[in-house]
Each structure stands twice: as structure tokens, then as C-alpha cells.
């Protein structure tokens, strides 16, 4: 079966939204999907895109996607690519599509002078962890992800010193 990777365009927005929802269901995070499709479209395809998407196809049928954006390493002094989401529909797993999507991103990183391709994976997702390790990825166990969102982000952004602990 022919595997192909192509850049997404605005007409792919309903497909991208559906794939994001499918990924969230797989990760048991459907309740966290809150995007507005029109706003997502502006962030992906508007005047100042904040992220990029590539669509993975098998025999011309969309079966997966990767959403990524540039990061920057101060230690390397160079950009990197951060893979926010990679998803392949269950019926297409084992076809080589996931590997093709990652290889495409690695090639993109090299073409753009990036020194890294990074992503996070849920600690319970053993099939994905094994897949990534087989491709040469290594775990970054010494790092812990952090996030500020919702009300905490609003407080911090407003400079509410009472919401910040002193150390």
C-alpha cells in the first residue's frame, strides 16, 4: 500500500479536527478537547501560523497526522521541532505510516537547520514508547513536564503576586 505525507491545507480542517478528537479518545482525554474549529484554523492557516500539520495517507486516504511547531534550544543555539501530536488511525497501524510521519518530520528538521525533534508520550502508552525507542528516540527521564493553564495562567499573566509562592 502506498504511503504518502503531504502538508495540510485549510480544506483539511474538518479532517484535522476529527483526528485530534480521535487522538484524545485514544488517550482517554476527550473531556479536555475544547478547541473552536475556526480558531484552530486561524492558528494553523491564518496570517501568522503557530503550528504546521502534515497528513499521512495510505493509498490516497487520510489515516493520520502530525502537528508540530518550532522550538528553540539555548544550549544548542539552534531551533528544533516539537511534535505536539502524532496519530495514526487504528486500522492503519503497522502500515509504516507512523514511521513515515516521523521520518518526514526528521527530514524537515534537518532541512530547516534544526538540531532536535522532541515530543512527549504518556507514560502508560507502552506501544508508542516501544515504537519510538525502536526508531532511536530516547527517554528524557530526568525532565518533568510543567504546565500553567486556565485560572493559574490568568493569575500569573496578570501579575497576581499572591498566586506565586516565594522560594
Helix (H, G, I), strand (E, B) or coil at 47: coil
Q: Which of 26, 82, 87, 132 is catalytic?
A: 132
Grid coordinates of 157: 499573566
Grid coordinates of 72: 528553540
Strand residues in 89-157 grouped as ranges (E)? 117-119
Helix (H, G, I), strand (E, B) or coil at 80: strand
Q: Which positions ≥6 away from 96 have C-beta within 8 Å? A: 3
DSSP 22-53: HHHHHTT-GGG----HHHHHHHHHSSS-S-EE
Q: Is 87 one of the catalytic residues?
A: no
Q: For residues 30 and 88, what is the distance between their CA atoms, to the nearest angstrom?
A: 17
Please count the helices (runs of H) and the strands (runs of E) in the chain.
Answer: 5, 5
Catalytic residue numbers read 132
Amino acid at each position: 500500500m502506498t504511503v504518502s505525507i503531504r502538508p495540510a491545507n485549510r480544506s483539511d480542517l474538518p479532517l484535522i479536527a476529527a483526528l485530534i478528537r480521535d487522538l484524545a479518545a485514544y488517550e482517554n482525554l476527550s473531556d479536555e478537547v475544547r478547541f473552536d474549529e475556526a480558531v484552530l484554523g486561524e492558528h494553523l492557516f491564518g496570517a501568522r501560523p503557530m503550528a504546521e500539520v502534515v497528513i499521512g495517507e495510505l493509498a490516497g486516504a487520510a489515516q493520520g497526522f502530525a502537528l508540530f511547531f518550532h522550538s528553540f534550544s539555548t544550549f544548542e543555539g539552534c531551533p528544533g521541532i516539537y511534535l505536539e501530536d502524532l496519530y495514526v488511525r487504528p486500522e492503519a497501524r503497522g502500515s509504516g505510516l507512523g514511521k513515515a510521519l516521523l521520518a518526514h518530520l526528521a527530514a524537515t528538521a534537518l532541512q530547516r537547520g534544526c538540531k532536535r525533534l522532541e515530543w512527549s508520550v504518556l507514560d502508560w502508552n507502552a506501544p508508542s514508547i516501544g515504537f519510538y525507542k525502536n526508531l532511536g528516540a530516547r527517554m528524557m527521564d530526568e525532565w518533568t513536564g510543567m504546565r500553567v493553564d486556565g485560572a493559574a495562567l490568568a493569575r500569573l499573566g496578570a501579575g497576581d503576586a499572591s498566586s506565586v509562592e516565594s522560594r
